[in-house]
Amino acid sequence: MRRGFGLITAIIIMITVAVLMSLMIGLSSSNVKQTSNLYIKEQARLYLRSATGFALMAISGHPNNTNCIEDIKLNFNNSSGKPAYHAKIDMWYLGNGIPTTCGHILNNSIVTDDSNYTVVMDITVEADQTILGLDEPIKLHRRTLQKP
C-alpha cells in the first residue's frame, strides 16, 4: 500500500513539473516575440523621423518657382537589401509664393512673413509583414508642420 502511494505522489510531482516547464517555455517565446516587435516598431519610428528630414531636404533643393513636390514614396531596405519599410509622404502648402500649378495648396492668402511657405506633412511608415516575418501589421503615422 505504501509503494502505491509513493508511485502516485511521484506521478503527480512529475506532471506538476511538466506543466510548470511548459508555462515557462510559453512565456519565454512570448517575450522573444514582444522584444522583436518592439525593435521593429522602434526602427519604424526612426525611419519616420528620417523620412521627415528627407522631405525637408527635397523641398529645400527643389526649385519651387514653377511647381512643388506633392508626395514622396521611399523604401528602406533591410540588411539583405529587400525593402522592409515603406514610407509615403504627402505635402500640403500654406502661404504666399506657392506656384499656382501646385495641386496641394491649403491656403495661399496668408500675408505674414513668418507663416509664408509652410508645409504640412503627413508621413506614414509601414513595415512589410512578409519580409520581416510579422504576424501583425506595424504602421506609424505622423503629421507635422514644417518651415523649409
d(C-alpha 107, C-alpha 104), whole Å: 9
Q: How confident is the model at residue 53 (pLDDT cuts 50, 70, 90)?
A: very high
pLDDT of residue 14: 93
Distance (Å, whole) CA 47 – CA 53: 10
Q: For residue 110, which phi and psi values (nearest 5 degrees)?
A: -75, 135
Q: Report whether pLDDT(1) > 60.
A: no
Which of the 8 DSSP states describes residue 62? S
Percent of the chain with pLDDT over 90: 36
pLDDT in tens, 56-100: 999 888 876 777 888 999 999 888 888 999 999 999 888 777 777
In angstroms, the CA 29 to CA 123 distance is 33
pTM of the model: 0.73
Rounded CA-CA distance 122/142 in Å is: 6
What's at 12, amino acid-wise? I
Extents of the domains making up the chain? 2-146
